[in-house]
Structure 1
Amino acid sequence: MKLSVGSSLKLVFRPWVEGLENVPATGPAILASNHLSFSDSFFLPAVLDRKVTFIAKAEYFTAPGVKGKLTAAFFKGAGQLPVDRSGVRGAGEAAIRSGLSVLEKGELFGIYPEGTRSPDGRLYRGKPGGLSRVALRSGAPVIPVAMIDTEKIQPPGQIRPKIMRPGIRIGRPLDFSRYQGMENDRFIQRSVTDEVMYEIWKLSGQEYVDIYATAAKRQIADAAKAAAEAQKAQAAEQTRKPESAQAAGTAEPAADRPERKPEGTPAAGERAGRDPQGEPGKHGERRNAA
């Protein structure tokens, strides 16, 4: 994969890198990165000489058909490990076991503390369970990594990628041996995660949002749904207005209606003392005589 996909990425996109010297040549280490794009898991290993193992949902490895087999082969070749999320505690425990198995072999383990891709390019709060527990159980150093502009290469909904230079900044390793044996303390987990996220924030320069990215995605989806419903209601209202105007136009205006007189009411000529033919009547003659 490094010779094929990795070489192609470096040749076409020419990513720039800072801090390669912070990645140890041997031994276990955790690469904790922000997550802007699906391509993050390919650009980072492409610029390193060592193999980097990430975790991926098991569905990528079990999809049926020819496409499913090709997808599984691709992820295996890229060093991805399947994680079964159907357990009682979900992906968290599976990720921890997978990470520890990689580090026990003296390899590099890649993880995204945010838990999912950023929906808008901002940096979100790190989830404390996975990263901190793997770091404290293994004793491996945590190396903060910032991916730069990878979300601009292929935004959601865009098929053809944009040819541009993404960036990768690699920070100095963080040592959490002072917390050894306290991996089950939720306050320690929070402290370790926040320290790593702070270093990622300094490297990336992203705007930080103190909520989880999953919650932000729900908010964005709810807002989009509400906007779509409002637009639909507005379109329905605009459709009803012409129908109401047409119905109002078919009604006979009051000014155009012929005047209807009550039965027994004399005509205008009769009220003036004239018969309907305009000749003076008896009443008119009496008035003249008077």
Structure 2
Amino acid sequence: MKFSIGGPLKLAFRPWVEGLENIPAEGPAILASNHLSFSDSFFLPAVLDRKVTFIAKAEYFTTPGIKGRMTAAFFKGVGQLPVDRSGARGAGEAAIKSGIEVLERGELFGIYPEGTRSPDGRLYRGKPGGLARVALATGAPVIPVAMIDTEKIQPPGKVVPKLMRPGIRIGEPLDFSRYQGMEGDRFVLRAVTDEVMYEIMKLSGQEYVDVYATAAKRQIQEAAKAEKEAAKDLARAQKAEAQKAEAEKAEAEKAAAEKLEAE
């Protein structure tokens, strides 16, 4: 990562970073970050001296063809692990297992508590099943991280990224050892997750929305679909009205012509 991608990224985008001293020089730690852009998993490792392992969709590693092999090599090169997300519960368990294995090796594990990218730049409710369970199962400290402006570099639909300086704020480690052995308590998992999200909110300055990002995305998609259908209905109505007006005009002209003939 450092030699193949990190260097060029830092040179091209010059990301600024605050709080590097909060990353331990050695030993396991969980980096819990907000998620604004596809590039978050690249910029954060680029500014650190230690390797960070994230999880990624298994499809990135199994797509056939030359492009698929290049994509797989790229994600392996940036330290991402494949996780099969074909089943919601299975995906969660696989992610938790992967995170625990990374931390047991004394490494850094990166995770996005929101579970998916923010659809509108706001900070959404964290999912308690992954972050909190990994933290309580391993005892590793949780370090809140805020990515700043990464969503502006390559907005949806834009192929060429915009050259600008994103930012990264790294907060102080959070210790949840007081909850050790309580990873089966859903109220504890919720409390741990909410505490982490609060720290991320303070670092990022984002507006917090107390719903899951997946639900917000679904609402946005449904609203966009409804708007599209409404536009289609309007277009059809306008077309029908135009056709009716044209038919009435033609009928009027025909009647006028017939009248002239009769005279």
Could you tell me the TM-score, scaled by structure 1's length? Answer: 0.86
User: For the residues of structure 1 that align with 2:150 and 2:225, how far apart are their CA atoms?
Assistant: 27
**1:137 maps to which residue?**
137
Matched, 1:114 2:130: no
- SS of 1:240's partner is helix
User: What CA deviation, in whole Å up to 9, does each residue of 1:175-213 have, x standing for no partner?
Assistant: 000000000100000000000000000000001111000
Counterpart in the other structure of 1:56? 56
Gap regions ≥5 residues in structure 1: 259-290
* SS of structure 2 residue aligned to 1:129: coil
Following superposition, the deviation at residue 59 of structure 1 comes to: 1.0
Structure 1 partner of 2:195: 195
Q: Which amino acid aligns with 1:230?
A: A
Structure ID, larger Rg: 1
- Matched AA of 1:54: F
Question: Which amino acid in the other structure matches residue 38 of structure 2?
Answer: F
* 1:195-234 alignment runs, 5 A limit: 195-234=195-234
Aligned equivalents of 2:196 and 2:110: distance in 1?
14
Partners of 1:245 and 1:99 in 2: how far apart? 66
Structure-2 residue corresponding to 1:83: 83
Distance 2:60 2:104 in 1: 25
Distance in 2 of aligned mates of 1:174 and 1:246: 72
What are the Cα deviations for residues 109-141 of structure 1, in whole angstroms up to 9, with x where unaligned? 000000000011000000000000000000000
> How far did 1:242 drift?
1.8
Who is 1:268 aligned against?
none
Structure 1 residue ranges, 4+ long, deviating more than 3 angstroms after superposition? none
> Residue 128 of structure 1: SS of its match in structure 2?
coil
RMSD after superposition: 1.6
- 1:87: how far off? 5.3
Letter of the 1:178 counterpart = R
Counterpart residue identity of residue 49, structure 1: D
Partner of 1:67: 67
CA distance in 1, matches of 2:106, 2:25: 11
| Equivalent position SS for 1:56 | strand
Matched, 1:12 2:12: yes
In structure 1, distance between residues paired with 2:156 and 2:86: 27
Deviation readout 1:197-238 (Å, 9 max, x if unpaired): 000000000011110000011001001101111111111111
Q: How many residues align?
A: 257
Structure 2 SS opposite 1:49 = coil
Between 1 and 2, higher relative CO (CA 8 Å, sep ≥ 6) is seen in: 2
**Identity between Structure 1 and Structure 2 (%):** 79
Q: Secondary structure at the match of 2:110?
A: strand
TM-score normalised to the size of structure 2?
A: 0.95
Partners of 1:59 and 1:242 lie apart in 2 by 48
- For 2:86 and 2:225, the matched residues in 1 are separated by 29
Amino acid at match of 2:64: P
Q: Distance in 2 between matches of 1:227 and 1:86?
A: 30
The answer to whether the aligner puts 1:178 opposite 2:182 as a matched pair is no
In structure 2, what is the equivalent of residue 102 of structure 1?
102
Whole-Å separation in 2 of the counterparts to 1:70 and 1:247: 59
